[in-house]
Amino acid sequence: MNILLKAENVTKSYAGVQALKSASFELTGGEVHALIGENGAGKSTFIKILTGAVEADSGKLEIGENVVKENSPTIAKSLGVAAIYQQPALFPELSVAENIAFGQEKKGFFGRVDWKARRLKAQELLAEVGAKIDVDAEAGSLSMPQQQLVEIARALGANAKILILDEPTASLSEEDAKNLFRVIRSLKEKGVGMIYISHRLEELPVIADRVTVLRDGNTIDTREMSAVSREELIKLMVGRDLSQVFPKKDVKLGEVVLELRNLGYAKAGVKDINLTVRAGEIVGIAGLVGAGRTEFARAVFGLDTADSGEILLNGKSIRNTHPQDAIRHKIAYLPEDRRKHGVILDLPISTNITLSSLKILSGKFGFNFNKEKEVAAEYTRRLGVKTPSIHDSVSTLSGGNQQKVALSRWLITKPDVLILDEPTQGIDVGAKSEIHELMTELAEQGVAILMISSELPEILGMSDRVAVMHGGTIVEVLDRKEATQAKVLSIALGHTKVNGKL
């Protein structure tokens, strides 16, 4: 057995927080070894140690035949370690050939670049991963899957024997993911070992040979992928049985809080939206990509101004031409892309939490910074945000914890209506369960919730009713009892009823 990497009892602490307590992992040549765990389990820290971005506090690390006592990005690269992250790290203004050559070429005579050899090498490496990409194209002009293939080609050009793939399919279509899997299988045949990190547990039986589970900084178990079920993996990840990933409770519904009458926004193709949401009700918005779900939510919140129809709140007609109008009317909106629109990564956690409540925290004598700290600390505790300090920047948090920060900002405003656009996208199953529990608590408090999700199990598991969109409008609203995966998908695809049946 050709062991490429072996880590034993690796530990790492940050500012008193034990990120890794005892992490062990092994990778062999020609193997895809999945590394999974909840956000905050220690996966990112472990990868940083392997790539030399941070130093371990203790433990043993062997790469190939080398015992690595001190690591750095340069050392890791020389030992054949390369990482492909969720967001490709290419220079967008440089060509594909330049990106592949970066940091690898030796200088020619008088430091000149052999452009012909550079292009030829890039073409050879791209051909090796089955990519038909113009080597003279600017990297920034490529699609996300193309950029990933360029990064893989660059790693192979650096003689990478250990390839770390961090959430590689998070932004890919099903077809692009299949192509990536084809490339991974090709690399396996060449003896490359790959560490595969993904929240998409359904992918693992398709591509992984073994799986290792991290929890709270510890390696819990390593199993053959063929010998473990999704349910067993979830139990290993969270340390308990998740009998209900979707903890939906029957809540006594109140009066209609939000009513939409023929709402439309022509520019986005949204038209004739008719829907009611009652106090304590969770209405799921289902539909395919391009159906107009996010565009409809933006029109309700005032990010885009509806140009037809009417919005009624507690029976009174309102007009949201700006998010400030919506906030004043006690409507809150958690956007789809939390890193771009949900949180401000460089600002402290405390500031992110209180951004929508500046008036509440301001008095006659200006902004009350002490009150800000108290409120931020309270909501950090209530939502279980894992952080050493509320003064740390949001960028230091895991995806699930960032989502909790974004959500807490709106909870402070005590909304009557909460719009959630992909509330659990890209976060692990344990954090999903916590977000779902919080949604249930808010429903019990009488908040009317609109939840947009691309995950049908989430729609079916958490919704009292399901509104299915197609072609920019709501085609049908189904009660919880009659909504099935097949029925929702059929309506979303545009299939019509025949004699009352789908």
Categorize the per-residue pLDDT at 109 as very low, low, confident or very high, splitting at 50, 70 and 90. Answer: low
Please tell me the distance from the alpha carbon of residue 477 to that of residue 466, in angstroms, as a whole number: 5
pLDDT exceeds 90 at position 307:
yes
Q: What percent of the chain has pLDDT over 90?
A: 49
- Residues 312-337 have a mean pLDDT of 91
> How does residue 502 score in pLDDT terms, banded at 50, 70 and 90?
very low
For residues 39 and 37, the model is more confident at 37
Query: What's the average model confidence in pLDDT over 268-275?
Result: 95
Mean pLDDT of 32-41: 86
Q: Is the pLDDT of residue 500 over 60?
A: no
Contacts of 352-355 with C-beta under 8 Å, sequence gap 24+, read: 352/394, 352/405, 352/406, 352/409, 353/379, 353/380, 353/390, 353/405, 353/408, 353/409, 353/412, 354/409, 354/412, 355/409
pLDDT for residue 251 is more than 80: yes
Q: List, for residues 223-233, the tens digit of each pLDDT value.
A: 999 999 988 88
Q: How far apart are CA 434 and CA 137, in angstroms?
A: 44
Is the predicted pLDDT of residue 274 greater than 80, yes or no? yes
Q: Is residue 64's pLDDT more than 80?
A: yes
- The answer to whether residue 243 scores a pLDDT higher than 80 is no
Q: Where are the alpha helices (DSSP H) in 86-218?
A: 96-101, 115-128, 144-157, 174-189, 204-207
User: What's the pLDDT score for residue 16?
Assistant: 65
List domains and CATH numbers for the chain: 3-238 (3.40.50.300), 253-330+415-502 (3.40.50.300), 344-414 (no CATH)
- Mean pLDDT, the chain, rounded, equals 87
Pairing outcome for strands 162-166 and 193-197 = parallel
* Interval 425-432 mean pLDDT: 72
pLDDT tens track for 339-360: 677 788 888 898 888 887 777 7
Tell whether the model's pLDDT for residue 312 goes beyond 50. yes
Name which residue leads in pLDDT, 350 or 434. Answer: 350
Residue 107 has pLDDT above 70, yes or no: no
Beta bridge partners of 331: 417
Is pLDDT above 70 for 498?
no
pLDDT confidence bin for 240, thresholds 50/70/90 = low
Quick one: pLDDT at residue 110? 56
What is the per-residue pLDDT for 475? Answer: 95
pLDDT category at 383 given cuts 50, 70, 90 is confident
For range 91-101, the mean pLDDT: 91
